[in-house]
Amino acid sequence: MLMTAARLASGLDKTAPPGNFGIKLPEIERLRILVAGEITLDRYSWGEVSRISPEAPIPVLKVDRREERPGSAAFVMANLRALGAEVSTLSVVGADPNGRRLRQILRGLGVRTESIVADPTRPTAVKERVLGSVQSARRATQQLLRVDLENSSPLNPKIERRMTGRIAFELRSADAVLVSDVDPGVLTPTIIRDLIAHCRKRGIPLIADPRISKDYSVYRGATALTPNRYETEVATGVPMTGEKAWRKAALELINRLGLKACLITLDRDGVYLAERGGAAMHIPTAPRAVYDVTGAGDVVLAVFGLCCAAGLRFSAAAALSNLAAGVEVGRLGAEVVSRADLMAALEGSHRAFTRKIMAVEDLKQALERDRKAGRKIAFTNGCFDLLHSGHVECLNLARAQADALVVGINSDRSVRALKGSGRPVYPATERVRILAALECVDYVVVFDDTRAEKIIHEIRPDVLIKGEDWRGKRIDGGAFVKSRGGRVVFAPILHGHGTSATIARIRSSSPS
């Protein structure tokens, strides 16, 4: 049975199809995760580079937008919330406006912040990224500069005691602890050891993303570690040159620290999982465009730790975290990976085209990511009933006008209002699949109005494509697109290939 268009577009179906080790996403509701580690306020300045400074050989960025986001351990929390978990935090901020802003952002996400301790002797950690694009050359956005404000000095004993005093309270109802141990971090050896001891006493997992160090003894007794390639090489002295080396290093950490598992993140090579007892596996990454690796390790920690808390096997948790990291690196900056994103990734390459089918709100988020990457958006719309060569010609021309093409199709109700009771021939659930299967189409969205004005205002395309027969007429959204600096392009009409004419020919050739 075909899914309804709304359900198909939502990406929230609970059961994953075969593939990717036959994994299904676990039920997350009511799982409570404590995240311990350094939280940062990430600031982003976005703009366009159009000239070189006369003062120095550096680009001049004309800033048009600024954003503030949770970073480091706070980004782990944001991902956990997007996946449906209840989250609390154990961390330190400064007694300053940045610390208050970071608390406000986390509370807005639904994160419990009672165990964030304010330290008047150190500033809240801030990472500011400056990103620019060269729109006139159609070059994608890239990071130009990062400025860090942080204090790497050890916590004073008073603040450390306040933090350790919160551990027992936070772990009364926690199902797992995730440790994001960034260097320089706020987690002292005493805090980490206390967390591990309390977790072992309660029988709940503790997963740690470790700092860069030659000595990992502080993590002895943890359930699992998720170091990256370089961190693993520093900690073990094993050159990470291939699968034999990955296995050797992972098993060395397991044996040395009494871990149950070690998941090494290998950037372009995916992840490598080893378990106590010798079981090991390499999970390669799916081929995809990589725009920014910011936040990928945090996504792995969030998904792997959450899946372990939900009782999944280490292998299933590793595969899901690898999928999530693949989604993250395809986005610019640190952006959360939601349950819907994971469901779409789980569908596998044999159904990858269905990922293009989106509800309006999901589409707006996807287009925002495209714009941040410097991509221009084209839009065209229609009933697209009985797809024919004229449609294909128009869609290919539309895609050539920009970096991404959104196709809006009328709902079954609006098609009937426009074409009569005998239409559409195919319901929207089939029309969206046919369009999404075309290589030139990047996104498909269903709208219920007979006119496209509202959906165009929602999507805000840079280019609007209509058939040549619309020249000189009032075009839905045309004035709006032009008012924002966009343009309207008219596609040639391939005569004799209209849907109505095709239906008439079919009817005339059918036996009466």
Residue 496, pLDDT score: 53
pLDDT at 55 over 80: yes
Residue 279 or 88, more confident: 88
pLDDT band with cut points at 50, 70 and 90 for residue 508? low
Among 100-109, 184-193, 370-379, 477-486, the minimum mean pLDDT is found in 370-379
Euclidean distance between CA atoms 83 and 96, whole angstroms = 30
Q: Which residues of 242-274 are buried (b: 16+ CB within 10 A; e: fewer)?
A: eeebbbebbbbbbeebebebbbbbbbebbbbbb
- Strand order across the 126-134 sheet: 59-72, 39-52, 126-134, 139-149
Query: Is it the case that residue 225 has pLDDT exceeding 60?
Result: yes
Q: Distance between CA 129 and CA 84 in Å, rounded?
A: 28
Is pLDDT larger for residue 9 or for residue 195? 195
* pLDDT (0 to 100) of residue 50: 82
CB atoms under 10 Å from CB of 304, counted, come to 30
Instruction: Give which of 2, 7, 98, 13 is closest to 340, Cα–Cα.
Output: 13
Model pLDDT, residue 21: 45
Q: Which residue did the predictor score with more confidence, 346 or 214?
A: 214
Percent of the chain with pLDDT over 90: 44
Top-confidence residue, 195 or 493:
195
Question: Under CATH, which number does the domain 28-346 receive?
Answer: 3.40.1190.20
Confidence of residue 257 (pLDDT cuts 50, 70, 90): very high
Q: Tell me, what's the pLDDT at 395? A: 87
pLDDT score at 376 = 87
What Å distances lie between residue 362 and 259, 341, 459, CA to CA?
Answer: 39, 10, 11
Contacts of 251 (CB under 8 A, 6+ apart): 262, 274, 278, 280
pLDDT value, residue 444: 92
Boundaries of every domain in the chain: 28-346, 360-509
Band of pLDDT at residue 36, cut at 50, 70 and 90: very high
**pLDDT value for 138:** 43
Helix (H) or strand (E) holding 118: strand 116-119
Pairing of strands 224-225, 59-72: unpaired
Query: The whole model's pTM is what?
Result: 0.67
Instruction: Tell me the longest C-alpha to C-alpha distance in the chain.
Output: 92
| pLDDT (0 to 100) of residue 41 | 95
CB 491 within 8 A of CB 468: yes
Residue among 298, 341, 385, 462 flagged as catalytic: 298
**349 pLDDT exceeds 60?**
no
Listing DSSP states for 88-100 in one string gives EEEEEEESSHHHH
- Which range among 268-272, 273-277, 394-398, 492-496 has the greatest average pLDDT? 273-277
Q: State what percent of residues in the chain have pLDDT above 70.
A: 82
Question: What is the rounded distance in angstroms from the CA atom of residue 261 to the CA atom of residue 394?
Answer: 53
Q: Grade residue 479 by pLDDT with cuts at 50, 70 and 90.
A: very high
Tokens, residue 56: 């120095």
Pick the CATH number of 360-509 from 3.40.50.620, 3.40.1180.10, 2.30.110.10, 3.40.630.30: 3.40.50.620
pLDDT at 498 over 80: no
504 pLDDT band (50/70/90 cuts)? low
DSSP 311: T
Structure tokens at 322: 């690898």
Active site residue 412: no
Q: What pLDDT digit, counting tens, does each position of 282-302 carry?
A: 988 754 444 444 557 888 999
Give pLDDT, residue 502.
58
CA distance linking residue 33 with residue 166, whole number of Å: 15
φ and ψ of 489, to 5 deg: -115, 135
Q: Is the pLDDT of residue 8 over 60?
A: no
Q: What is the pLDDT of residues 135-156, one digit of tens each?
A: 554 456 778 899 999 888 888 8
pLDDT tens digits for range 440-469: 888 999 998 888 899 999 999 999 988 887
Residue 209 predicted with pLDDT over 80: yes
What is the reported pLDDT for 2?
30
pLDDT of residue 294: 52
Token look-up 């952002």 returns 105
Q: Are 313 and 272 in contact (CB under 8 A)?
A: no
Q: Which residues contact 53 (CB under 8 A, 6 or more apart)?
A: 59, 60
